[in-house]
């Protein structure tokens, strides 16, 4: 009898992404898990089929071989017959964690002692303004997660007493063995997750998992000086673990919105200030805003050119978790006037005539055109 197509087994398209495959697998694994279908041989067979299919497709090399050759790629001991591959023997001892880590409160293969499955880590993103990044702020997030089941107090047992019995599949050892050619491979028992025991009367609300899917509200403190793209770890605020296990962590990715005036580079801040041509020529003083809300004063020397830069010390960002602060750099751009009045045009005409008569007020311009003249008339 021909083996079913792995993609069809998972109900996924051939071009599905790794996340889409994982999502399809988790849904089916939860539906056909032996704990939810005790004594159901059909469900047990289906559970094995989807495990075999996902074991192949989650591996990039196996998936590439399967896409090209189909099941023939794994004949003669070359692949995941019955869901096992000796090439992955180093991981088979924890294969159940890899497959069921997220679904059953694990953290992608990690255990935190004694077969108890720790809660999965969660990820969230928050967007803040540049001013909030400077001062620090608090954000309240609503995070979909798995929380301890209130009906059974997280024990997974209907009567909250954790009444357990030896696992029927592994006999209480927490391990099962499978023949792979000349080798015998030992792996974690998929029924009890390596604990060797199963809950006798599983909770009807959480099906013995000890956790339920919910959304929780969480306040996160964002420290002053945080940079765009920084990830904050909030210990113990991930998914709740299974009975007797520790929760996972929450990782919050911080995105800082661009500011209409300031640009940030590390702890320093840059501010572009357009200057009137007359002010740049005659010199003077300007007031500029600072990220901390104060006003800074900058002296503009006479003859300032576009692109000149001035520094205000300690007016930048604080360095994360220190008292040190960066600087603020004022970058000036001399602006050519537009929409001149009649009087302004007359004054500029006079200025231009004076400049043509031999004034040395624009040395860079004069030097450039002198070189151009020599270029066309070298003699």
The Cα angle at residue 258 between residues 256 and 259, in degrees rounded to 5: 115
Which of 73, 319, 82 has the alpha carbon at shortest distance from 179? 82
Q: What does the block give as tokens for 320?
A: 């994360």
pLDDT digits (tens, 9 = 90+) for 74-84: 664 444 444 33
Q: Helix or strand or coil: residue 164?
A: strand
Which of 183, 185, 188 has the alpha carbon at shortest distance from 173? 188
CATH code of the domain covering residue 56: 1.10.287.110
Q: Helix or strand or coil: residue 222?
A: strand
- Per the structure, the count of domains in the chain is 3
Q: What does the block give as tokens for 254?
A: 């911080």
Which has more confidence, 95 or 278? Answer: 278
318 and 206 in a single domain? The answer is no
pLDDT digits (tens, 9 = 90+) for 341-358: 999 999 999 888 887 776
Give the domain-ending residue among 214, 231, 257: 257
Whether residue 193 is contained in a domain is answered as no
138 and 61 in a single domain? The answer is no
How far apart are alpha carbons 39 and 342 in whole angstroms? 97
126 and 78 in a single domain? The answer is no
212 and 246 in a single domain? The answer is yes
207 and 225 in a single domain? The answer is yes
Give the mean pLDDT of the chain. Answer: 81
pLDDT digits (tens, 9 = 90+) for 243-252: 777 889 999 9
Whether residue 184 is contained in a domain is answered as no
Q: Does the pLDDT of residue 269 top 90, yes or no?
A: yes
pLDDT digits (tens, 9 = 90+) for 113-131: 344 567 889 999 999 999 9
Angstrom CA distances, 315 to 75, 99, 102, 183, 269, stand at 68, 51, 46, 68, 8
The confidence band for 90, taking pLDDT boundaries of 50, 70 and 90, is: very low
The boundaries of the domain holding residue 242 are: 119-163+200-257
How far apart are alpha carbons 166 and 316 in whole angstroms? 64
Whether residue 6 is contained in a domain is answered as yes
The confidence band for 70, taking pLDDT boundaries of 50, 70 and 90, is: confident
Q: How many CB atoms lie under 10 A from the CB of residue 136? A: 15
Q: Does the pLDDT of residue 35 top 80, yes or no?
A: no
350 and 271 in a single domain? The answer is yes
């Amino acid at each position: 009898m021909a083996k079913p197509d792995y993609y069809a087994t998972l109900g996924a398209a051939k071009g599905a992404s790794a996340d889409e495959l994982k999502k399809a697998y988790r849904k089916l694994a939860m539906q056909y898990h032996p704990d939810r279908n005790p004594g159901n041989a059909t469900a047990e067979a289906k559970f094995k089929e989807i495990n075999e299919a996902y074991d192949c497709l989650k591996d990039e090399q196996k998936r590439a071989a399967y896409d090209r050759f189909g099941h023939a790629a794994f004949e003669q001991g070359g692949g995941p017959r019955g869901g096992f591959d000796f090439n992955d023997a180093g991981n088979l001892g924890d294969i159940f964690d890899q497959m069921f880590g997220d679904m059953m409160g694990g953290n992608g293969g990690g255990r935190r002692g004694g077969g108890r499955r720790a809660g999965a880590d969660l990820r969230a993103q928050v967007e803040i303004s540049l001013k909030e990044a400077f001062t620090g702020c608090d954000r309240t997030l609503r995070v979909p997660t798995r929380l301890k089941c209130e009906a059974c107090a997280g024990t997974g047992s209907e009567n909250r007493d954790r009444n357990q019995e030896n696992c029927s599949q592994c006999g209480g050892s927490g391990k099962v063995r499978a023949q792979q050619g000349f080798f015998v491979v030992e792996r974690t028992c998929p029924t009890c997750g390596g604990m060797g025991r199963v809950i006798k009367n599983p909770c009807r609300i959480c099906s013995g998992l000890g956790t339920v899917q919910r959304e929780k509200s969480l306040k996160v403190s964002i420290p002053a000086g945080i940079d765009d793209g920084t990830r904050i770890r909030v210990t113990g605020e991930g998914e709740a673990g299974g009975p007797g296990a520790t929760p996972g962590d929450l990782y919050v990715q911080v995105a800082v919105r661009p500011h209409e005036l300031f640009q940030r580079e590390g702890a320093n801040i840059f501010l572009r200030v357009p200057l009137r041509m007359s002010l740049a020529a005659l010199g003077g003083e300007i007031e500029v805003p600072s990220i901390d809300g104060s006003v800074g004063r900058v002296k503009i020397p006479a003859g300032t050119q576009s692109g000149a830069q001035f520094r205000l010390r300690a007016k930048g960002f604080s360095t994360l978790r220190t008292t040190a602060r960066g600087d603020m750099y004022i970058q000036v751009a001399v602006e050519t006037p537009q929409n001149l009045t009649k009087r302004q045009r007359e004054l500029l005409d006079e200025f231009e005539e004076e400049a043509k008569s031999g004034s040395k007020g624009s040395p860079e311009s004069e030097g450039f055109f002198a070189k151009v003249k020599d270029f066309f008339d070298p003699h």
